[in-house]
């Protein structure tokens, strides 16, 4: 078999289909067509040679051209490096291939969107030069673990320096493909998550500030979640002292259980800046 073409659908996961094909024709190039673009990176990590995404539409001529290109690349006598460069050249994913010492061997042009560097600028440099000093040890340990086992795959989040000197957060999957004669290296598939990480960091800081203020309030306060039947998330020290409840007793319980008709209390609410959190102050 010169080339295998897998079509998504039919109730069979493309990754499962890849496993079946690869078990019989380990050196056969595999094209997966009709998949969502966001799945392309995972399928390449799983062993696909090329991807034809849904966004390309139903174009038999394009698929035929891809098949001929792969078959020609497999049969030609040109070095494996050239074949790999040709495959990466048309990849929409931010893929790169590392040697055993972490040196960039090949980089897909799409990596420029992430790092600002061209493939030519990155090739021959070491990946750890661009990793944040605080993340470098973890990334290096993960890289060594991936290199130690054929086919091993690990995912992690860390910071890289772009061409302007700024740090960007990325989520990357590192896969050992040394056993693939065309790749012969560790494949990195990355996507940027800077916006998400910064949003989470902001919320974490707001939460910490909220917790400090929450405990310092002299007014008994309950933090509750839910609108119709709010549930107790936590209470401050003033609440415990005034009402005699220990926080562990009522956390997770319906707030109404402690505010029955016989409770001589006035309840007021104020929306906190954290979404979904309501502060309920109680007074007698």
Please give the backbone phi and psi of residue 70, each rounded to the nearest 5 degrees, phi first.
-70, -45
Q: Do domains 1-76 and 213-283 have the same CATH topology?
A: no
Euclidean distance between CA atoms 171 and 96, whole angstroms: 14
Euclidean distance between CA atoms 199 and 162, whole angstroms: 20
Euclidean distance between CA atoms 167 and 130, whole angstroms: 9
Q: What is the DSSP string of 1-39?
A: ---EEEESBTTB-HHHHHHHHHHH-TTS-EEEEEE-GGG
Q: Per the structure block, which two tokens stand in for 236?
A: 């401050």
- Identify any residues that bridge with 172 across adjacent strands, giving them in sequence order: 156, 190
CATH topology of domain 1-76: Rossmann fold (3.40.50)
Under CATH, which number does the domain 92-192 receive? 3.30.450.20
Q: How many CB atoms lie within 10 A of CB 97?
A: 23
- Residue 270: pLDDT above 70? no
Q: pLDDT-derived band of residue 99, with 50, 70 and 90 as boundaries?
A: very high
- Residue 24: pLDDT above 50? no
Average model confidence (pLDDT) for the chain? 75
Domain boundaries, the chain: 1-76, 92-192, 213-283
Residue-level pLDDT at 88 = 58
Euclidean distance between CA atoms 147 and 154, whole angstroms: 11
Residue-level pLDDT at 130 = 95
Instruction: Look at 70-74, 195-199, 269-273 and tell me which has the smallest mean pLDDT.
Output: 269-273
Between 7 and 190, the higher pLDDT residue = 190
CATH topology of domain 213-283: Beta-Lactamase (3.30.450)
């Amino acid at each position: 078999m010169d080339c295998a073409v897998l079509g998504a659908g039919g109730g069979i996961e493309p990754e499962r289909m890849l496993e079946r094909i690869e078990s019989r024709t380990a050196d056969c190039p595999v094209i997966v067509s009709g998949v969502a673009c966001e799945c392309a990176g995972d399928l390449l990590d799983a062993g696909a040679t090329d991807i034809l995404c849904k966004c390309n539409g139903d174009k038999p001529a394009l698929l035929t051209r891809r098949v001929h290109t792969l078959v020609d690349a497999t049969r030609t006598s040109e070095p494996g490096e050239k074949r790999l460069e040709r495959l990466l050249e048309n990849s929409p994913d931010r893929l790169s291939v590392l040697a055993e010492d972490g040196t960039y061997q090949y980089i897909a042009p799409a990596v420029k969107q992430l790092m600002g560097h061209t493939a030519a600028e990155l090739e021959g440099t070491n990946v750890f030069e661009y990793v944040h000093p605080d993340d470098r040890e973890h990334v290096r340990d993960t890289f060594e673990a991936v290199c130690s086992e054929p086919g091993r795959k690990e995912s992690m989040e860390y910071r890289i320096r772009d061409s302007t000197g700024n740090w960007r957060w990325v989520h990357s999957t590192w896969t050992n493909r040394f056993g693939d004669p065309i790749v012969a290296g560790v494949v990195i598939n990355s996507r940027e998550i800077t916006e998400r990480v910064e949003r989470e960091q902001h919320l974490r800081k707001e939460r910490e500030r909220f917790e400090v203020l929450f405990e310092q309030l002299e007014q008994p306060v309950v933090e509750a979640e839910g609108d119709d039947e709010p549930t107790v998330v936590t209470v401050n020290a003033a609440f415990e002292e005034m009402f005699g409840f220990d926080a562990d007793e009522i956390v997770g319980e319906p707030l109404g259980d402690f505010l029955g008709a016989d409770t001589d209390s006035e309840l007021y609410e104020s929306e906190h800046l954290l979404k979904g959190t309501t502060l309920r102050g109680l007074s007698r």
